[in-house]
Structure 1
């Protein structure tokens, strides 16, 4: 290679004729055009493709911004840079400036989530903890502001770098929003759409402040501890369950727990008592259904024994309210777990008025009635 070829090659690398960026990645948000020590030639071509914005930076100061299109660089389309450079009457010599290409297409399916549980104060359940996660989509709507406030001098800025900042912002604003919403805890899962829209409106100004537009925001799930879920489900059924039936259900569960925990004959007896009580309740529930069915006349003599006499049912007072009826074994279990005591008022069919438990003859056994009464004349 001759001396003239070397000079020609050197000159070709000193001046830049075409400025463009071909993005071969899916995650690059901002790319700085590498000119090294080269200078941009007067009347050089700037090519900005769809989904891009070109930003000129002169000595750390924001200069001109170009939308998609092809430009011939001169003092006419570089007004801010011309002022910063002091070109009053145009320029003919090459110049130095940093050129950043910003990707303005939509970045979709970005994930967010709460790193730690959010503590809320619910009116009915007290302090509760929830977690949430979802997705969002964003794009750059002010390339100059984004470069100045976020990118700085980074030569290749990816969405991974900005996502950590955005996810922290989202988690903080989500916590503030759900705290101010003061929704009943059971309604969060059923109102994710409305809550997502509210959160998006709250977060949008902060995204805009750094040149980013929050295009979409979704809350995909709001989770809570399993024991809280069970408590909410039980609470939600209270409006549909009769209080008396709920009391019976709780009593049956107490009897079952007692039968499980107590060993020996006492536990077996309690378990048998529970079985009889449940069988009686199931029979009472099935009776109305069976009564509505027409039975075919029997063609043979009925050899079945007559039904057993109906067990005595007791009503009792608890917390100033009437409850029952319950069978003898159920009442005994209620006495054992201190739901009722010796002074609790009791009534059964045949009694004129309510009487304390200790005055009902067959219930005195609850009080430890293994001691015989005093001898006559003593």
Structure 2
């Protein structure tokens, strides 16, 4: 290349008539306009398209910012740069300045999520862990501040470079927000809209501080361990049920289980005795009128069928801290006579609510009347 060719190339680079940027990507946030030795011709045309902002940097300092439009670059349209350069009477030679084009359109469908579970202290379920993820949208609302604080000297800054910082910021502020919300654990998933708005309000000042506007913030899902989810569902169902009816249902199931139990004689007798009591109580609670109907029916049929045979009363008694029995009335009298039981021995039979000393049971008071002979003297 000859000397004249070199001069021609240098001149062609020095005298740039049009400063513009055509973005062919969908992820570039900021692009530095490249030209030879940062020189721009006086009265060159600056074209800033919709969705762009042009930022002039002079010697590392923020100079002029241009919104969409077409401009002639001279002292009239470069007031700050003119002041920095100290040009009092205009300039005719090319001037040096770095020009950054900033994409100001809305960047949508950016992903965020919690890398680690968030631990919360719930009043009913104790310490629980949740995860969350969603999307957000942002735009550059202060290009000058964004260039100075974030971009620096990067000649092609993409949203991938800023997303890692933004996702960390979101995860931190989201953790603080849900921790301070103090909601019942089951309401986090049911109130994602309200929680999203709250998180957005909390995070917006953080974004604004670096020239970024948080336009939208969405929580798509709040997840928790499967065992906790099942526990919450069970609690929710119980909360909606009539607890009185649930108690009766559980009682009926307990009676059924006791009837199927093939344990020892004493345990089976105890289970049957308690089962009869619970069955009577449950029947009375579930249908208070049923008792009257059942009593009226034998009276109506008294002339045609005999009454049912009376059931023998059996007793259980406590001996050395253990349950014994069941025994009949005469067997218990014999035990009293040989001093296996005494007046203070706790006894129980069907229909009694609690264990009671023998001397307080009406039909057993006959044991104390002196009708039994004293022990044979040795």
Q: Does the TM-score normalized on the shorter chain lie above 0.5?
A: yes
For 1:230, the equivalent position in structure 2 comes to: 230
Deviations 1:209-231 (A, max 9, x none): 11111110101111111111111
For 2:56, the equivalent position in structure 1 comes to: 56
For 2:145, the equivalent position in structure 1 comes to: 145
- DSSP 3-state at the match of 2:207: helix
- DSSP 3-state at the match of 1:237: helix
Return structure 1 stretches of 4+ with deviation > 4 angstroms: 1-6, 247-258, 343-347
- TM-score for both structures, normalised by structure 1: 0.68
For 1:85, the equivalent position in structure 2 comes to: 85
Distance 1:255 1:9 in 2: 101
For 1:33, the equivalent position in structure 2 comes to: 33
For 1:125, the equivalent position in structure 2 comes to: 125
- DSSP 3-state at the match of 1:220: strand
Write the mapping of 1:140-289 to structure 2, written as runs, cut at 5 A.
140-247=140-247
Q: 2:146, 2:210 within 8 Å by CA — same for their partners in 1?
A: yes
Deviations 1:76-111 (A, max 9, x none): 010111111111111111111100000000000001
Aligned length: 295
Deviations 1:33-54 (A, max 9, x none): 1114251111111111110000
The 1:137/1:255 distance shift into structure 2, 3 A limit, reads farther
- Structure 2: stretches of 5+ with no match in the other structure: 288-308, 310-345, 359-374
- DSSP 3-state at the match of 1:190: coil
- Structure 1: stretches of 5+ with no match in the other structure: 289-308, 310-342, 360-376
For 2:322, the equivalent position in structure 1 comes to: none
Deviations 1:249-302 (A, max 9, x none): 6678889999xxx9xx86xxx9xx9xxx9xx9xxx9xx99xxxxxxxxxxxxxx
Distance 1:164 1:178 in 2: 21
The 1:256/1:18 distance shift into structure 2, 3 A limit, reads farther
Quote the offset at 1:155 in angstroms. Answer: 0.6
Distance 1:253 1:25 in 2: 68
Q: 2:38, 2:97 within 8 Å by CA — same for their partners in 1?
A: no
- DSSP 3-state at the match of 1:173: helix
The 1:344/1:122 distance shift into structure 2, 3 A limit, reads farther
Larger Rg: 2
- DSSP 3-state at the match of 2:163: helix
For 2:354, the equivalent position in structure 1 comes to: 355
Distance 1:345 1:152 in 2: 88
Distance 2:167 2:103 in 1: 20
For 1:292, the equivalent position in structure 2 comes to: none
- DSSP 3-state at the match of 1:32: strand
The 1:186/1:52 distance shift into structure 2, 3 A limit, reads same
Distance 2:73 2:251 in 1: 87
